[in-house]
Amino acid sequence: MTYFTIGKLSRALGIRPDTIRYYERNGLLPPPARSSAGYRTYGDADLERVRFIRKGQLLGFTLREIGSLLDLRASDTATTADVLAITESKINEATTRIDDLTRIKTALSALSAQCSIDIPIADCPILAHLASIPREDAPGHGNPPAAGAVKAPS
């Protein structure tokens, strides 16, 4: 078994020592053993666990969700259905974010298409749109409006 100080572990993982301490404080890593000099010491299992955490973050899981996945992994009674439930929830969140970003991209593209580099700044349709009175369906008030959408008069 390999033993690491916090500095060696952080370098092996490409993260800062503070990140490892943060994971410890939040229960994602168990309290480390201490050397006779009082230094934190970590083993291969800790290295693998932090890699698991980092990969989970890259997939968009929150630290709370990663903690749940770690608990499931260590459980004798957990099933893959439990893991799939967390994963499916994350997929739904990602789909919602993608839909929101697609609406934003569509709205920005429509505004960009209306703008020309040879018009005076006072006539810029992008700035005019940003300065317009907020509508219920404007960004910050729910979903962004569809490109070119105009609210019907009441």
Q: What is the pLDDT of residue 68?
A: 98
Chain Cα centroid distance, residue 39: 32
What pLDDT was estimated at residue 15? 97
- The token duo for 106 is 């569509």
Helices 44-58 and 6-13: crossing angle, nearest 10°?
40
Q: What is the pTM of this model?
A: 0.74
Return d(Cα 80, Cα 123) in angstroms, integer. Answer: 58
Mean pLDDT by 10 residues, the chain (154 residues): 91 96 96 91 96 97 98 97 98 98 96 90 91 69 50 42
Q: What is the pLDDT of residue 151?
A: 44
Fold type of domain 6-61 = Multidrug-efflux Transporter Regulator; Chain: A; Domain 2 (1.10.1660)
